[in-house]
Amino acid sequence: MAATLALAAGLAGSVQAAVMGRFGERIGTLEAVAWAFCLSAVIAVAVLVAFRRGLGGIGDAWTTPKWLWLGAVLGAFIVFTITVASPRIGTTATIALLVAGQLAAGAVIDR
């Protein structure tokens, strides 16, 4: 199941890069990124409420070590980067560089 989800996320990431690049060209890079995160937040909260029948432990995020919030910051950076890079260097080059960076960082992290 985890491998299937990872593969699906990889496919979705390539589509996301192409779509966000075009979206950024139409409404502006920062506007596209902001809209994407607003819509993502609405979807995430809806899924949380549907599966947890409430907001679950989302409030516990405030008491976790702040460095764990880096996941959200990096997510914003990734979406911003694909929105900027895709129309300029192409989706294939953007994803190739993204994957190369992920493989390098993953090797360091797993070490």
Over residues 11-35, the pLDDT tens digits come to 999 999 999 999 999 999 999 999 9
Average pLDDT score over the chain: 94
- Listed residue (98, 97, 87, 80) closest to 9, CA to CA: 98
Answer yes or no: are the C-beta atoms of 18 and 88 closer than 8 Å: no
pTM above 0.85, yes or no: yes
